[in-house]
Structure 1
């Protein structure tokens, strides 16, 4: 159905119905109610139609061309990336992967293939790139590489926007990324910037995936990694000490946004742990050691995992 017609026509009819109801003082209430229910059901059907539509493009394409829908939808289990394709992308754009041993690289690729296959990628742009599902999924594997549970199954959908996107909730808010319901939402521009400068402590991919890992563990409470769940109590203890310290003048390892609440503090801790491990270890050694045990990784010593999983 034409995108404009399928929304405009019902809205016009709905407005006419509301006008009819007011002009007749709702005397024919049952008829009015029936029409309103009918329009609501129409919108539900249209919404489901939108969610089920898929573009003609087969695979993630870099070629020009406008898809039939305002977004591109890709099921990860249909992308079928070869290991060689993944290696080429990771070697060029993902510094973490290049620091791994040969055995760890094999394990990373296995997990990456598994993660991609379990997600649906919705790209809100005319064209998509192979790097989008690969690198975003790689960020998830980086964060969870020392854990046994790494799929984050609650988050079936990954939405990729070209730049900042808008969330309307009470007030209009521009976001670089967020986690909502069953979706992880990211600005591709800011995601790439996070990995282009891997030592500035700012990485929106790691930030949002840290939120997702917490949500999977403590809110959904399914597919839980016991090492992470059991170790988070120690993070709460040491993290609260650092949170209080960073709130005082003269301490600036964390941003002001991280001090907004403890959830943001946790997410930014993950960013700093991977991108500025020396600075965290020097300023807050107990917190660094806590996160090292929590995630079973030691980026300061360039050790991806302390034990073989």
Structure 2
């Protein structure tokens, strides 16, 4: 990676800033590989894709993937489209801030909405994390490119059981940690819960420690332990 790319991480990406030094080096390596495996396209009135856009969007994906083996790159999704703001989706004919289209291997991002996630890093709402969580779940089921079945089946089953309880609680208007969007279906719940996992980890763990633990084991990392300077067991094994 260039010095300019590293500077963007150092200034704007808290996850990278809080990693132990050895993991920072690996993060940069994985980020460079991710960027090389994607094509970025400006859409709408966006005049071009800047280096900052490439680095921050890709770093968000690497954050989610960092506990997995290095070959997991979400290869099916090789195109990232960036709009300046909300856009009219050709898939749904509705205005969106972002979406994932597995048919065409596309992830779509509204840059304005994406950057809101950096302006409010602890509110549990982050468009980049949300869309890449969708892509992660879909990639796990795609078998042609050697990246499938990387989510542990036992922990996924446990996650589904716990998620069903939370989805019902949100639907019934109960006192849930998760916003209304999470109640739409298991796909949306997963994306919303992964947002909370990275942005409100401590509160999440207090609210539902079992659900939090299931995500630790699915993603092979624990932000609470990692940022405290430690290495969770599953995370260390995945990095070996």
TM-score, L = length of structure 1: 0.69
SS in 1 for 2:94: strand
Instruction: Quote the residue 1:178 is aligned against.
Output: 99
Q: Closer, same or farther in 2 for the Cα pair 1:200/1:150, shift >3 Å?
A: same
Structure 1: distance between partners of 2:231 and 2:49: 30
Confirm or deny: 8 A CA contact 2:163 2:211 kept in the other structure.
yes
Equivalences for 1:126-141 in 2 at 5 Å? 126-141=47-62
SS of 2:136's equivalent in the other structure is helix
Query: What residue in structure 2 maps to residue 114 of structure 1?
Result: 33
Distance, in Å, in 2 between the alignment partners of 1:201 and 1:221 is 33
Corresponding residue for 1:212? 135
Tell me if the contact between 1:206 and 1:270 (Cα under 8 Å) persists in the aligned partners: yes
Q: Tell me if the contact between 1:164 and 1:175 (Cα under 8 Å) persists in the aligned partners.
A: yes
**Higher RCO (C-alpha under 8 Å, 6+ residues apart):** 2
Q: Give SS of 1:186's match.
A: strand
Structure 2 equivalent of residue 199 of structure 1:
122
1:230-309 counterparts in 2 under 5 A?
230=153, 231-301=155-225, 302=227, 306-307=235-236, 308-309=239-240
Partners of 2:179 and 2:143 in 1: how far apart?
28
Matched positions, count:
227
Partner secondary structure for residue 141 of structure 2: helix
Aligned residue in 2 for 1:38 = none
Select the structure of larger CA radius of gyration: 1
SS of the equivalent of 1:152 reads coil
Q: Deviations over 1:280-301 (max 9, x none)?
A: 1111110000000110111123
**Separation of aligned partners in 2, 1:221 and 1:279:** 38
Q: Is the 8 A contact 1:254 1:268 kept in 2?
A: yes
CA distance in 1: counterparts of 2:128 and 2:231, whole angstroms: 18
Unaligned runs of 5+ in 1: 1-80
Indicate which of 12, 22, 38 corresponds to 1:93: 12
What runs of 5+ residues in structure 2 fail to find an aligned partner? none
Query: How much does 1:245 deviate?
Result: 2.6
Root mean square deviation, CA, Å: 1.8
What displacement does 1:241 show? 2.1
